Each structure stands twice: as C-alpha cells, then as structure tokens.
C-alpha cells in the first residue's frame, strides 16, 4: 500500500495548508527548519504542523521515561574486586503497542516494551541475564560483545532458540566497553527483530563515560526504529523510541550550554540505512561508543542496522532545536524530534543525571588507567564551549 495513503487512512493528518499526508514536505521542512534555527521563536502551531494529530499514548510504553532510563541491574552483587555481577531478568511476550496515535502494531517485546530496557554495566562486570519466553514464538537474546559461542543466543549454539514457556541464562563478561545492542536471533531473523525484540546495552569504559567524555547533564537513549503496520514488507511508521513524533509533540528539555550525550542505535528493518541529523549545531560522534572511533564536528551521521554510537554536543542557543532522520521520507513518517533548549538555569534538568548515575560508575573501583583517555573530555569540552561562545558573539553583532 502507498505509505502516504496508508497514513491518511490511519487518521494521521499533517499540514493541511501544504496538502501533505502526515507531515510537511521536505522543502517546507527546510523552510521551517531555517526559521527554527535562525530565530528560536517557534510557535505551537508551527510545531503542530510537524507531528501527528492526536496525543502520544504513554499507557503501553512511555518514551519520555525510556529516553532517560538505564537499568544497571535488577540485582547487583559485589564481586569484591571492584567489579559487580549484574543480574538482569528479561522475558519475551506478545503485546499490541501503539506506534502513533490510533495506530497499533502487534509487537514481540522484551519486558513488554519496545525497545527493550537499556541495560548498563561497567567494563569487566559479570553479566547474568535470566531470560524466559512467555511469547507464542521461540526467541533468544543475542548480545553484541565478546563472549563464548554458547552464550551467543543464536539457533544451534548453547540452548539455541528458547521455546514458549522455557527459559535460559546468558552469562558473560561485559566487554569490550562501548554502546552495544541486543536482539532476538531466532529465524526468520528479519521478522523477529522487526517485531520489536531489540534494545541497547551500554558498557562504560574504565572510569565511566563521564570521565572519558565530560560530565553529561543529560544522557539520552535513542533507538531509531520503524514499523510495518500492514505487513507488506515496507515500513509505514518511523520513530526514535517507537512513538512517531513523540519528541516533536513534547520536546526533550535541556538547558543552553548543557552537555548532551545521546546513545544512538539503529534497529530499523527493511531499510538499509537510517540517520540522525541535528539542526543548527554540530556534534562529535563516537562510533560503537569507542573513544578511538571519533568523528569531530559533524551534523549528520548514518547508521546501518545494529550500528550505534554516541553523539555529544552543547546547544549554544535557546529555543527549539530540531533533529530527525535525513532520509526525508523517514522524517515525514514520524522520525522527527526537538530539543527544547531553555536559557533559564532554574529549570531542573537533573532528572536524567539522577537516574543514569544511580548504581553507576561512581560505585565502581574497576579502573584501568592505561586505557582511560581523560584528555578527550577536556578537548571536547573546550571546543564545544568555544564554538558556542563564538556563535553567541556573532548573534550579538559584535566583532
């Protein structure tokens, strides 16, 4: 079915004046984006043009919580040498989820959510994942990282595919550090991933990402995903974190000059590539979350399926800061969002910190100074601040 006709049929309206289905066309996006970038004076009706009609439901899954949540272990044991054993309990189940207002998708979900919970550990921690399958189909959990083959969560190795009602345990050391993903590896693979069985697995470097990259004011998890709601092998809805346009409807709150860190992954099936484009500013990117895989000062990054990395920047201006897939079609079909940058320091942006640092690197003694690269953090900090101040001076009209 034609994607736009589908969306019109689904009752998602866009800018009537522009005659588009769900969303303003790409030229209009550019025009609005320019306006947003230059003025920071976006009105509510401007924003309304850039999202689905109807309200994002948070009953089945709350993308506003998910984006800041890290699970450091459902149970944590101290191994006595500075490391922890982190025990995660994950089940798979079948669940209907809402991917846009009024549009549902029959998902298979880890712990009843798509994406699954963001698991987090320090490099060297022992990981124990207790997996049980309450779904009607056989599933696995395949973790990216270094581990023995029988812990790989693929058919034919170890316990292989876990049947309905069965369970297994995956045990491995959290290595190497980086931003990883986990997903089901049952066959047919494409279907099992597309149905929603994926999530992020963040392994901090020695000392933690804050020590390596500077103390973040916000850590956001963003999984780019898409849904084939009419089962024709092509996606109808695109998003970060499942709900089309959710962060356009309710932008992510940050403050001017805050250090924003985004853990980004691509879980999109059926399309070879997805991307993240930030408006009106540039960022540093660390592919796979590795400090040595650094690309400095870019504004667009592409990821193939399962590719992931860290984006980091400090917004220099107050106002709405747009970000979206630079595949215009994906943006029009739901993968478009905003940061709302406030200049008011009284706005509390500490929630993300409180959640992300809980049980985190601060309570770990596990360090390996030879691999720590604190210089990167200073460098990033200096450069982002310099750039911000430079832009501010230009905006103020002084030489």
Closer residue to Cu ion in complex, CB, 10/114: 114
Closer residue to Cu ion in complex, CB, 192/317: 192
Task: State how far the Cα of 386 lies from the Cα of 388, in Å rounded to an integer.
Answer: 5
Q: To the nearest 10°, the Cα dihedral for 277, 282, 287, 289?
A: -110
Q: Using CB under 5 A, pick the residue from 86, 180, 183, 192 that binds Cu ion.
A: 192
Q: How far is the CB of 240 from Cu ion (least distance, A)?
A: 22
Q: How far is the CB of 169 from Cu ion (least distance, A)?
A: 17
Q: Using CB under 5 A, pick the residue from 71, 118, 122, 186 that binds Cu ion.
A: 186
Asked whether 134 and 114 are in contact (CB, 8 A), the reply is no
Number of separate helices (H) and strands (E) present in the chain: 10, 20
Q: How far is the CB of 182 from Cu ion (least distance, A)?
A: 12
For residue 133, state whether it binds Cu ion (rule: CB under 5 A): no
- The residue assigned the tokens 């699970």 is 71
State the number of binding residues for Cu ion (CB under 5 A). Answer: 5
Q: How far is the CB of 229 from Cu ion (least distance, A)?
A: 19
Query: 210-249: which residues touch Cu ion (CB under 5 A)?
Result: none
Neighbours of 218 (CB within 10 A): 22
For residue 139, state whether it binds Cu ion (rule: CB under 5 A): yes
* Cα–Cα separations (whole angstroms), residue 205 to 75, 124, 292, 374: 21, 9, 12, 11
For residue 184, state whether it binds Cu ion (rule: CB under 5 A): yes
For residue 168, state whether it binds Cu ion (rule: CB under 5 A): no
Closer residue to Cu ion in complex, CB, 197/216: 197
Q: How far is the CB of 204 from Cu ion (least distance, A)?
A: 28
For residue 194, state whether it binds Cu ion (rule: CB under 5 A): no
Partnered with residue 262 across adjacent β-strands are: 220, 311
Closer residue to Cu ion in complex, CB, 192/250: 192
Closer residue to Cu ion in complex, CB, 73/153: 153
Question: Among the candidate windows 53-61, 126-134, 189-197, 210-218, which touches Cu ion by CB under 5 A?
Answer: 189-197
Q: How far is the CB of 160 from Cu ion (least distance, A)?
A: 12
Q: What is the DSSP letter of 116?
A: P
Task: State how far the Cα of 251 lies from the Cα of 304, in Å rounded to an integer.
Answer: 26
**How does strand 178-183 pair with strand 142-143?**
antiparallel
Closer residue to Cu ion in complex, CB, 97/291: 97
Q: How far is the CB of 386 from Cu ion (least distance, A)?
A: 47
Task: State how far the Cα of 134 lies from the Cα of 136, in Å rounded to an integer.
Answer: 7
Q: How far is the CB of 197 from Cu ion (least distance, A)?
A: 5
Task: State how far the Cα of 291 lies from the Cα of 38, in Å rounded to an integer.
Answer: 32
The b/e string for 128-160 (b: 16+ C-beta within 10 A; e otherwise) is bbbbbbebebbbbbbbbbebeeebbbbeeebbb
Closer residue to Cu ion in complex, CB, 155/233: 155
Question: Among the candidate windows 48-56, 124-132, 190-198, 233-241, which touches Cu ion by CB under 5 A?
Answer: 190-198
Instruction: Please calculate the CA angle 367-354-316 and round it to the nearest 5 degrees.
Output: 95
Using CB under 5 A, list all residues that contact Cu ion.
Answer: 139, 184, 186, 192, 197
């Amino acid at each position: 079915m034609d994607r736009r006709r589908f969306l019109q049929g689904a009752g998602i309206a866009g800018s009537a004046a522009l005659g588009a289905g769900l969303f303003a066309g790409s030229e209009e996006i550019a025009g609005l984006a320019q306006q947003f970038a230059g003025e920071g004076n976006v009105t509510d009706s401007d924003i309304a043009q850039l999202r689905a009609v109807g309200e994002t439901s948070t009953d089945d899954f709350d993308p506003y919580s998910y984006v800041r949540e890290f699970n450091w272990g459902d149970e944590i044991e101290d191994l006595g040498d500075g490391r922890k054993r982190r025990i995660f309990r994950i089940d798979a189940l079948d669940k209907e989820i809402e991917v846009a207002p009024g549009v549902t998708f029959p998902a298979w979900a880890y712990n009843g959510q798509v994406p699954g919970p963001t698991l987090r550990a320090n490099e060297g921690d022992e990981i124990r994942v207790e997996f049980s399958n309450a779904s009607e189909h056989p599933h696995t959990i395949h973790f990216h990282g270094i581990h023995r083959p029988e812990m790989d969560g693929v058919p034919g190795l170890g316990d292989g595919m876990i049947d309905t009602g069965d369970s297994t345990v995956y045990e491995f050391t959290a290595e190497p550090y980086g931003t990883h993903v986990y997903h089901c590896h049952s066959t047919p693979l494409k279907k099992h991933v597309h149905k929603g069985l994926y999530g992020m697995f963040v392994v901090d470097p020695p000392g933690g990402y804050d020590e390596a990259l500077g103390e973040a004011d916000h850590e956001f998890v963003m999984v780019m995903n898409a849904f084939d709601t009419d089962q024709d092998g092509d996606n109808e809805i695109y998003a970060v974190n499942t709900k089309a346009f959710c962060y356009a409807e309710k932008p992510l709150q940050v403050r001017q000059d805050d250090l924003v860190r985004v853990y980004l992954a691509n879980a999109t099936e059926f399309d070879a590539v997805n991307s993240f484009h930030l408006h009106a500013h540039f960022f540093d990117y660390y592919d796979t979350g590795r400090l040595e895989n650094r690309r400095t000062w870019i504004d667009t990054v592409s990821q193939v399926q399962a590719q992931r990395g860290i984006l980091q920047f400090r917004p220099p201006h107050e106002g709405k800061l747009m970000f979206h897939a630079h595949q215009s079609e994906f943006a029009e079909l739901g993968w478009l969002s905003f940061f709302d940058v406030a200049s008011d320091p009284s706005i509390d942006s500490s929630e993300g910190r409180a959640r992300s640092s809980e049980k985190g690197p601060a309570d770990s003694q596990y360090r390996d100074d030879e691999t720590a690269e604190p210089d990167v953090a200073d460098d990033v900090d200096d450069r982002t601040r310099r750039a911000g101040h430079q832009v501010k001076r230009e905006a103020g009209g002084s030489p």
